[in-house]
């Protein structure tokens, strides 16, 4: 997968060199290129923002640097959106441009799975009060654009949100996570339940014992206990995630059976 990131703080993305994602980059599974938006701002101060037209607080990112930077990325990727205005937009394999924004649709595991099938993602990280609306309109008219939020709270810019999304998407790419089975039994995967609690050795630590069933060797009992834990945890912490068929059930029904 090819990923381009545009930001006025390229240093944020040094984090992508670490851990599993860093290894995936080294092994060529993910090709991440980070661009400094200021390289497309040509005045003495390399200005990327200006006052909001119509008044209001804060600053808005100017359209020209974004246009130059995104045109360059799309043209270099050799795709229709960058090359010709008359080419059909949205063809498979064309880049998908994502603008992280608290005003966007909410990023979920489902969206991560969808985006993991893309060949080329471009993340445009806004700062200040946002980017001039015409930038979204221009690239939406020429190809595929999505505004995506990582949750209902406000960050100072799209950088941290982009790192979160790249990590969530990147780990789903073939070969990035060593044991693909570890992707399956996870919160938000498969059946939408949260994860069960995990334990390792020693069997007792500070007077706290590992639940005995996990030491029983009874795999059916262990599986059933883990499922019960997942349901109870989900009911307690995220009841809105509970599948319909589990909603009416009282606490501890399985334990009582
Ligand atoms: Cl994607 N950007 C910003 N600035 N704040 C956010 C966000 C994104 N998602 C949640 N809060």
Mutation probe of ligand 1 site: the residue of 124, 129, 158, 159 with most atoms within 8 A of C-beta? 158
Q: For residue 93, what pLDDT is reported?
A: 80
Residuewise pLDDT in 10s, the chain (257 residues): 999 999 999 999 999 999 888 999 999 999 999 999 999 999 999 999 999 999 999 999 999 999 999 999 999 998 544 444 455 554 558 999 999 999 999 999 999 999 999 999 999 999 888 999 999 999 999 999 999 999 999 999 999 999 999 999 999 999 998 777 878 777 887 788 999 999 999 999 999 999 999 999 999 999 999 999 999 999 999 999 999 999 875 555 444 44
DSSP 8-class letter at 114: H
Measured in Å, residue 146 CA sits from the centre of ligand 1 at 13
DSSP-based three-state secondary structure for 9:
coil
Answer yes or no: pTM beyond 0.85.
yes
CA distance 180 to 116: 14
The encoded tokens of residue 253 equal 């029904």
Closest-lying ligand 1 atom to the alpha carbon of residue 100: 1
- Among 13, 140, 135, residue whose Cα is nearest residue 66: 135
Q: For residue 250, what pLDDT is reported?
A: 53
For ligand 1, whether the C-beta of 102 sits within 6 Å is: yes
For ligand 1, whether the C-beta of 158 sits within 6 Å is: yes
* Environment class of 61 (CB within 10 Å of its CB; exposed 0-12, middle 13-18, buried 19+): buried
CA distance 104 to 136: 12
28 touches 1 (CB < 8 A): no
For ligand 1, whether the C-beta of 157 sits within 6 Å is: yes
- Among 167, 73, 159, 67, residue whose Cα is nearest residue 115: 167
Measured in Å, residue 126 CA sits from the centre of ligand 1 at 9
Partners of 34 in the β-ladder: 5
Give the torsion through C-alpha atoms of 128, 129, 135, 140, to 10 deg.
Answer: 120
Placement of tokens 């595991």 in the chain:
109
Measured in degrees and rounded to the nearest 5, phi and psi for residue 141 equal -75, -25
Placement of tokens 């489902």 in the chain:
110
- Among 77, 112, 109, 111, residue whose Cα is nearest residue 93: 77
- Among 9, 21, 38, 6, residue whose Cα is nearest residue 121: 6
Q: For residue 123, what pLDDT is reported?
A: 98
């Amino acid at each position: 997968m090819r990923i381009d990131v545009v930001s006025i703080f390229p240093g944020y993305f040094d984090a992508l060199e670490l851990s599993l994602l860093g290894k995936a980059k080294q092994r060529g599974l993910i090709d991440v290129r980070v661009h400094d938006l200021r390289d497309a701002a040509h005045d003495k101060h390399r200005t990327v923002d200006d006052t909001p037209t119509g008044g209001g607080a804060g600053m808005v990112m100017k359209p020209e640097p974004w246009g130059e930077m995104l045109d360059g990325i799309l043209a270099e990727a050799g795709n229709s959106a960058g090359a010709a205005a008359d080419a059909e937009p949205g063809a498979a394999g064309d880049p998908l441009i994502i603008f992280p924004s608290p005003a966007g649709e909410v990023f979920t595991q489902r969206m991560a799975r969808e985006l993991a099938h893309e060949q080329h993602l471009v993340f445009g990280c806004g700062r200040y009060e946002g980017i001039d609306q015409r930038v979204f309109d221009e690239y939406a008219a020429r190809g595929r654009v999505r505004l995506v939020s990582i949750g209902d709270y406000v960050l100072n810019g799209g950088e941290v949100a982009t790192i979160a999304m790249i990590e969530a998407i990147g780990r789903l790419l073939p070969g990035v996570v060593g044991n693909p089975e570890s992707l399956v039994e996870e919160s938000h995967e498969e059946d939408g339940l949260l994860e069960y609690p995990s334990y390792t050795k020693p069997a007792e630590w500070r007077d706290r014992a590992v639940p005995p069933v996990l030491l029983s060797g009874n795999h059916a009992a262990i599986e059933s206990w883990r499922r019960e834990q997942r349901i109870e945890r989900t009911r307690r912490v995220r009841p809105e995630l509970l599948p319909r068929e589990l909603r009416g059930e009282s606490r501890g029904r399985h334990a009582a059976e």
